[in-house]
Amino acid sequence: MSAPTTEVPGAREVRDRDGSGAVVHLPRFGDDGRVAGTEVRELLVPGPWTTPTAPITSRVAFAAAHVVPQVGAENVPGAPAVVDWDATLAYRHRIWEHGLGVADAMDTAQRGMGLDWAATQELVRRSAAGARAVGARVACGAGTDQLDPAVVARWEPGDPAALAAVVDAYREQVHVVQDAGAQVIVMASRALAHVARSPEDYARVYDAVLAEADAPVVLHWLGTMFDPALAGYWGTGDDVAAATDVFLDLIRAHQGRVDGVKVSLLDADHEKGLRARLAALDPGEGPDAPGAVRLYTGDDFNYPELVVGDGTLHSDALLGIFAAIYPAASTALQALDAGHPDRAHAILAATEALGRHVFTAPTFYYKTGIAFLSWLNGAQPGFQMVGGLQSGRSVAHLVTLVRLADRAGLLLDPDLAARRTRAFLETNGATR
């Protein structure tokens, strides 16, 4: 006879849930893409999610939120974004009500994939004002995407004028974020990746940009799985270890201006190594000391183990997946605050399969899954995205997302989710 096993309470809470009475007929597709069968599935009631009664203190956590388009506007590829500001801001208030900060105007909000600079500026201002009104936390991305890609493509690597143009673009965006009252996240720059020839070029640009910061910033290292145009970032080619050294040199040179770093490489071992090296930096003492540097995980695959940590070190969070799973993420962080790391891990681990599916390759289309789940949960009137990016994932992919979101307890209104799933399947000819 095998020894009895002890199961963490959080795992049972998420797994052993009652049926909701809402039934969907989910297609199963053959290798040729045709409907080959049907699963009759009763959706489960949502997970045991709670909203915090006090600020979350064990981790600093941001959800990188998406934007909701106006359903009747020309949000087609190449057109300026027309945003439904009421729905977009309401979604952020849901996140804030769950005790999380919002990371806005980031990759999840379709920077470089449908959200133009004019709409980005408005998003920053509105989101910062919304956070200020409720005493919540917001950080916004500052990059260089107002530069004309056609002009950038003509730049010669190492051109001093081009590097100066990158600095000027960064400065403009940093000031927009700061003037709005949000924390600055210094995003990776496609233009800089194109024109920089060496680590020294990166250092000169970041030196100038960080000199503009009026408060500690978050530095964002975005991997090529999220944006292939960022290949060779930090000037070391494909050598991630060398790039990490360059990154750390930059942090050491500006430690007092760096609150933390967000690393989006989907590599847990790399993050743990970097986290240990950041922990070894001397924070100093006194009011003028540089302070510690946080590691905000951007790993939407391995976040359960990274956020919970190993008992000695842990990562904070700045995650796109948290925009999709914010009720579960908040409940897990509340468990950490209460001194129950095993329960916190079990809750987050129950969402991991969903996260891995949403962020599966091609990873840069993950925003489509986040918008789809937002629509299923009633946070936006239609399954649409700026730039027409709702076409970024297949019907089969989104059907699997329904299954995984249901299993994770993240279909928050099963009756509504069932109705919208049925409408989606019928519209796309995926019924039998």
For residue 139, report the phi and psi dihedrals to the nearest 5 degrees. Answer: -130, 140
Is the bond leading into 362 cis (omega within 30 degrees of zero)?
yes
Return the axis-axis angle of helices 414-427 and 395-407, rounded to nearest 10°.
170
Q: How far apart are the first and last CA of the chain?
A: 47
Residue 316: the pLDDT is 98
Q: How would residue 6 be classed by pLDDT, with cut points 50, 70 and 90?
A: low
Identify any residues that bridge with 37 across adjacent strands, giving them in sequence order: 28
Contact 10, 347 (CB under 8 A): yes
Mean pLDDT of 330-354: 98
Ramachandran quadrant class, 80 (left: phi over 0; alpha: psi -120 to 50; beta: rest): beta
For residue 159, report the phi and psi dihedrals to the nearest 5 degrees. Answer: -60, 120
Report whether pLDDT(8) > 80. Answer: no
Gap between the Cα atoms of 367 and 242, Å rounded: 30
Residue 151: the pLDDT is 97
| Coil vs helix vs strand at 36 | strand
Contact 329, 316 (CB under 8 A): no
Q: How would residue 3 be classed by pLDDT, with cut points 50, 70 and 90?
A: very low
Contact 146, 117 (CB under 8 A): yes
Report whether pLDDT(334) > 70. Answer: yes
Domain residue limits, the chain: 57-395
CA quadruple 313, 58, 61, 324: dihedral positive or negative? positive
Note the pLDDT tens digit of each residue in 144-172: 999 999 999 999 999 999 999 999 999 99
* AA letter at 7: E
Gap between the Cα atoms of 374 and 14, Å rounded: 20
Residue 313: the pLDDT is 98
Task: Give the CATH H-level superfamily of domain 57-395.
Answer: Aldolase class I (3.20.20.70)
Note the pLDDT tens digit of each residue in 347-401: 999 999 999 999 999 999 999 999 999 999 999 999 999 999 999 999 999 999 9
- Residue 230: name the closest of 199, 203, 200, 192 by CA: 192
Q: How would residue 306 be classed by pLDDT, with cut points 50, 70 and 90?
A: very high
C-alpha triplet 24, 369, 71: angle, nearest 5°: 90
Mean pLDDT of 218-238: 97
Gap between the Cα atoms of 109 and 62, Å rounded: 14
| Widest Cα–Cα separation across the chain | 74
Gap between the Cα atoms of 351 and 330, Å rounded: 12
- Residue 185: name the closest of 249, 140, 232 by CA: 140
Rg value, the chain, Cα: 22
Asked whether the whole model's pTM tops 0.85, one would answer yes
